[in-house]
Structures are given as C-alpha cells and as structure tokens.
Structure 1
Amino acid sequence: MAGNNNIAGKWKLHHNEGFEEFLEEMGAPYLARKAVGKSHPTQEIIINGDHVTIKFISMLMTREINFTIGQEFETEWSGQKNKAMARWEDGKLVMTETGAVGKSITSRYVDENGMLQMVITSPKGLVCKRVFKKK
C-alpha cells in the first residue's frame, strides 16, 4: 500500500471553508445546505490494507462508503448515483467521483498541525475545505 495510515481514526469537524457554496453548486436544496453547513459531523476512517471505510455520523444522517483502492465503486450524492475511484497520491487519499453533475475530486490528508484536511473540488472548479480535529 502506497498510502498514509495517519488519516485513519475518528475526526470531529472543526470548520468549513466554502462548503455551503459547494453544496449549492451540487444542487442541494437551500434548507439542506443551511442544516449541513451548521452541523459538526464525525468522520471515521478505517484502513485495512487496500480496503477503506469512511463513516460520516451527524444528527442529520449517517453515511458509510466502503471501497478498495484502485477499484471502481458507487457513491450517492443528493439521490444521484456516481461512479468513483480512489487512489493514494503523495500521501493523500484522493477520490474522484463522476455523476450527473460532472466530476468532483476529494483529497484527504493530515496537515502539519495534525488536522485532517478534506479538500473538495467541484465539477466547475470550486474548492472547499472541511477541516477535522482528531477525537
């Protein structure tokens, strides 16, 4: 595995940068954008060899995705099914999703301050960040 296990663990959202704008671009309804923007979910990342599980847990929803690095898998965004592929790139877990609204790219890595950075680039090039602190 060419990945970086330091992203594994439980992480609590610390803050968002541009996330509401990202949700709007992705077609999320106004009330959903406001609610999600104010929630502070926990993200749990479990890495077992090339198999990765990511769980999002909040008061609004619980979502889990399971995948194997380098193999295509399916995700869902606002009721739309997407094709996805994950890879390790320079110590970052990079997931590319392609669906009805286009292609988005999500990178996860731990920065020099020990915070999990989740950087999402939308189909139109909008970049947002969700920054998590280790629990």
Structure 2
Amino acid sequence: MAENVALFGKWESYRSENIKAVMEKAEAPWLAQKMSDKANPTMTIERIDDKRIRIATKVMLSSMEQELTLGSICRFKPPQGSEQDCIAEWEDGRLVIYIAKPGSDPKRCSQAM
C-alpha cells in the first residue's frame, strides 16, 4: 500500500486517445460520448488524511467531487449515470479504483480505473 505523493495535485488533459471506447464502456449518454473528444477535463487529487483522498473533476460545464476512504466501499452517483460502488487502494504506487454496481463486490469485477 505504497502511496505515490507525485500523484497529488492538479492535472489537465490536453489529448485523449480512444476516449470514445472508454465512454461507451462507462455507458455515458450519447451526447457525452460525442463531445468527449473535444473536452479537456481537469482533475485535482488531494490527500485529506492517511485514509481519505478527494478527487475533483471538471469537464466543460459539469463538475464532480468525490471523497474516498481507502480500502472501504464508497457509493457515488456520477452526474449522468447510475449509482456505483467503488473501492480505492494504492497498488505498487498507483491509485486503483475498482467499480461495480451497488451490492456487488468491486474488487471481483473487471472494471478498474
């Protein structure tokens, strides 16, 4: 569970490769899929304490902020989407977020970010 402090800060995307496939996999609405290649999202990742991190994302006119407790199941609802359960963990210096439908075990599903 090695934390990577270099990951904390503000990040801006200037190019997305294969974003359409990612948006389809995430079951994003059709309009969001079409506009995704023109968006330059900004993500801010900050450490609140030893067990919690906050991820804030801004894309065009929408923004989302999520506070995650490492190693615990958290439920969230994206602005355009259905509720999901997730578990965030440090794995070999990478922040890995497992995502699943509510009630499922996120670590047993194949979808990770």
Using the size of structure 2 for normalisation, the TM-score is 0.82
Is the contact made by 2:19 and 2:36 (CA closer than 8 Å) also made in structure 1?
no
Cα offsets for 1:27-82 (capped at 9, x unmatched):
22322112122110110000132210000012231011101111110122442111
Structure 1: 5+ residue runs without aligned partners?
A: 107-135
Q: Which residue of 1 aligns with 2:46?
A: 46
Is the contact made by 2:42 and 2:57 (CA closer than 8 Å) also made in structure 1?
yes
TM superposition outliers: structure 1 runs of 4+ over 4 Å: none
Percent identity for Structure 1 against Structure 2:
30
Aligned residues, how many? Answer: 105
More helix by share: 2
Deviation at 1:103, TM superposition (A): 4.5
Structure 2: 5+ residue runs without aligned partners?
A: 103-108
Q: Which has the higher contact order (CA 8 A, sep 6+)?
A: 1
More strand by share: 1
